[in-house]
Chains A and B, each alone.
Chain A
Amino acid sequence: MSTTDAFVGHAPDPYRIGRSRDWVSTGGGRGFAHATGHGEGGPASKRVIVGYGFWIFLLSDIVMFSAFFAAHAVLQTATAGGPSGRDLFNWWSIAIQTGCLLASSFTCGLSAVATEARSQIWTQVGLLVTGLLGLAFLVLEGRDFAGMVMQGAGPQRSAFLSSLFAVVGLHGLHVSAGLLWLGTMMAQVFVKGFRADIMRRLVCFNLFWHALDIIWVALFTVVYLIGEGR
């Protein structure tokens, strides 16, 4: 008879939060139980909860992006007599940007492997390469934007260009924020090491960076490739 059976007359509620059958002595919140997510056991560990919460945030971020995508898809032909995508897009630049972001997603994944292996040097190298590729992406995108504005094809020229600058610029803003976060994480890993809280932040950063690449896949397909087909 375990201690939980002391509550005579109360059937144990399998869905009660905080119920931790296996590690009663450690209390709730540490999370060690059978088949989490099936109504048994106590709450999941902090790492799982943080990762899941960040996943929900990313999905809501993607929902926000979908509104920008919808606006662009609707306004793609509304050039108001101004230049269309066919006249403006620099194919080599877009292909290189795509390559940079994909490669940075890959190196970000490799740095996560190094983090799991608790390798300080390889984690830092992975993050650094990720950051440099992200920076190259941003520089190329900024150069494209500047070139378009110089040609008189700025966001105020037509509805098509407004929506183009909005959706591509929003992604660029996310990449910029990601770069700041990346630099912060490099410093924190260097100073604080692989502490549990730092590891959680790294998991979130990895999710964020991979999600940015997923958005870019949708972006170069919808905005650049399909836009060109019209």
Chain B
Amino acid sequence: MSHEVDRRDPGDVGPGFMDAAEVTIREGIARYVIGFVLASALTVASFYVLYTSLIWGPGIPVALVVLAIAQIGVHLVFFLHITTAPDNTNNVLALAFGVLIVALVIVGSLWIMDNLNDRLMPLDQMLQMQR
């Protein structure tokens, strides 16, 4: 249907829409450039954290996770255009539910398996018992 035109309310946005708030070309490009610069800086920081002695060793994974979450936030805001505006409520709620499930799966797995590992007898002891 080549005559089909999607007509919609200007305040009615799905995820990733560029024309949400009547964004001009210049603003659209600026948004992606800002996102790209921020994301690059965070990526470089992640790789740098691994080789620097500035951060206390056991704290490095924490620093990496924080940097990754920050970068995912940058991607969501500047690339996927997820905002806190009222017209974005549905998108944000779906995202929040997704994050909840992801957190349950990952934290739950790590917690349970770590707990099981703690309770498990070390392998060499177990082999000795079998003799």
Contacts and interface: CB of A to CB of B under 8 A. Distances in A.
A200 interface: yes
Interface string A53-88: 011100110110011011101100000000000000
A74 B109 contact: yes
Interface of B: 1-2, 4-9, 11-19, 23, 25, 28-29, 31-33, 35-36, 39-40, 43, 46-47, 49-50, 60-61, 64-65, 67-68, 71-72, 75-76, 79-80, 86-87, 89-91, 94-95, 97-98, 101-102, 105-106, 108-110, 113
A109 B15 CA distance: 13
Given A69-B106, A221-B64, A221-B68, A55 B19 contact: no
B71 A44 contact: no
Q: Contact residue range for chain A? A: 35 or more
Given A59-B95, A196-B6, A200-B6, 4 more contacts: A55-B15, A59-B94, A73-B110, A109-B79
Given A31-B12, A74-B113, A116 B72 contact: no
Interface string A18-39: 0000000010001111111110
B4 A196 contact: yes
A116 B25 contact: yes
B39 A102 contact: yes
